[in-house]
Amino acid sequence: MLRSIVTGGAGFIGSHLVELLLAEGHHVIVLDNLANGRLGNLPARPERGTLEFHRVDISADPSQWEALFQGVDYVFHLAALADIVPSIQNPLTYYRANVDGTVHVLEAARKHQVRKLVYAASSSCYGLAKQFPTPETAPITPEYPYALTKWLGEQSVLHWERVYGLPALSLRLFNVYGPRARTSGTYGAVFGVFLAQKIHGKPFTVVGDGTQRRDFTFVKDVVNAFWMAAQSPFSGEVMNVGSGDSYSINRLVELLGGEVTYIPKRPGEPDCTFADTAKIRERLGWKPKYSFEEGVQVMLEHIRYWADAPIWTPQRIEEATKDWFRYLSK
Ligand code: UDP
């Protein structure tokens, strides 16, 4: 039986990856500090495979949890702090979780000689990209500490690959959405914001004029990329994971259906994200299976999940994004 560790396995993307690995018959070991993840995201009784959960903070002393890597085949490292505003307010906390945490995981993977480590990197490393679709070779310009720390995590992964020969790949994810997309806490991730607004009959808070575009990638496609990356012979590479297209916020609103209100454009926000996915298609033979329309339909079918999510009004957003404007306005 293959053994896989998923850090952040109780989170949004992590829990979908856990589902896939269980369906593949793995023994899955989830490490999650439950800061944002939820136990309820994990299957109670998997039909295939077996599941083990450990409440572990990867930024804490690795001697407490490193032994869990014994005999492990694959490590999927998704545990991280997300979101822009709190990363601006608490850069050190982000550094500890996303950089120190990653180095701890790399050391554990190295010591226990795992077959492959796959890292969840962020397309936010491209900042305000100038080339579309954006290839992996585009300039790195992180705009805020979240983007910086995820990129430093990626650099650490590549460093461990080069220096210690740890087989590893880094996947740069573009605007992942799907069931269980984060509901709690701070402002961000447009799907959670809009779906909660829809449930409560509030207008969608469209940023700017809504013509900005995002490469919205469905989570089921993303976790397939992780599993294909793990099984592939490649190592020491970075690959974009995107839908192969990009969609405006106005199109999203049209598909969700509802009233709209407009809020100011935020500084440091790209007008477009759009992944060049030629590399992952060619190397891994991966391609997305869900169209945007199908993915949004799945979100609407699961809309009750966001019933308890915070309802963001323009006033609350203005309050929540004060530091964003304060620090990032040039
Ligand atoms: N967005 C929006 N209203 C909101 C939140 C986000 O129109 O209340 C837009 C935002 O301008 C961006 C897209 O949705 O174009 C995705 O935003 P998110 O914060 O999810 O991701 P990111 O901007 O980091 O790509």
pLDDT tens string 274-288: 999 999 999 999 999
Residue with tokens 């209100």: 261
| Predicted pLDDT of residue 278 | 98
CB 273 within 8 A of CB 175: yes
Evaluate: CB of 51 within 6 angstroms of ligand 1: no
Task: Report the alpha-carbon angle 315-210-328, nearest 5.
Answer: 60
Predicted local distance difference test score (pLDDT) of residue 297: 98
Q: Does the CB atom of residue 214 touch ligand 1 within 6 A?
A: yes
Which atom of ligand 1 is the closest one to the Cα of 210? Answer: 7
Burial (0-12, 13-18, 19+ Cβ within 10 Å), 112: middle
252 has pLDDT over 90: yes
pLDDT of residue 9: 98
Structural domains of the chain sorted by starting position, each given as residue range(s) with its CATH number in brackets: 3-176+217-241 (3.40.50.720), 180-214+245-271+290-328 (3.90.25.10)
What is the model's pLDDT at position 185? 72
Q: What percent of the chain is modeled with pLDDT above 90? A: 94
- Return d(Cα 154, Cα 160) in angstroms, integer: 10
> What is the mean predicted confidence (pLDDT) over 78-94?
95
What pLDDT is recorded for position 22?
98
Q: What integer pLDDT is reported at residue 316 of this predicted model?
A: 95
- For residue 330, pLDDT over 90 is answered with no
Separation of 275 CA from ligand 1 center, angstroms?
17
Residue 311: what residue type? I
Predicted local distance difference test score (pLDDT) of residue 152: 98
Average the pLDDT over 90-100 and give the result.
98
Distance from the alpha carbon of residue 238 to the mean position of ligand 1, in angstroms: 25
pLDDT of res. 176:
97
| 41 neighbors 178 (Cβ within 8 angstroms) | no
Check residue 188 and give its pLDDT: 81
pLDDT of residue 141: 97
Instruction: Please report which confidence band the pLDDT of residue 237 belongs to, taking 50, 70 and 90 as the band edges.
Output: very high
Whole-number pLDDT of residue 13: 97
* Residues annotated as catalytic (active site), given as ranges: 146
| pLDDT tens per residue across span 137-173 | 999 999 999 999 999 999 999 999 999 999 999 999 9
Residue 150 in contact with ligand 1 by CB distance below 6 A: no
Distance 191 CA to ligand 1 centre (A): 8
pLDDT at 222 over 80: yes
How confident is the model over 101-121, as a mean pLDDT?
Answer: 98
Average pLDDT over residues 219-230: 98
Which pTM value belongs to this model? Answer: 0.97
